Amino acid sequence: MKKLINKINEKAISTHCRLTSLLTDRKGDLATNTIGAIIIAVVIVGLLIVAIKAFFPDFFSGMFNAMKTKLNQNW
């Protein structure tokens, strides 16, 4: 009878350990957080570009024209 109780106890402890490790598994948290941070960064950069374009309409065209002029001077 004692052996049977010990086996049942071992099975219960083993099952408890497996369930605990399954429920507290945190594999993939780093990847999920990284992907979320990248998405948030892209959205913020996009909003900044939209804001700059709205308040300074010629900002990007002027900047690209200035770069084109400087790059073409050496050719």
Distance, in Å, from the CA atom of 60 to the CA atom of 46, rounded to the nearest integer, reads 14
User: Per-residue confidence of the chain (75 residues) as pLDDT tens digits?
Assistant: 778 788 888 888 888 888 787 777 667 677 778 888 999 999 999 999 899 888 888 888 888 888 888 888 877
Give the residue carrying structure tokens 């083993």: 14
pLDDT at 46: 94
* Residue 33 structure tokens: 């957080």
pTM for the model stands at 0.49
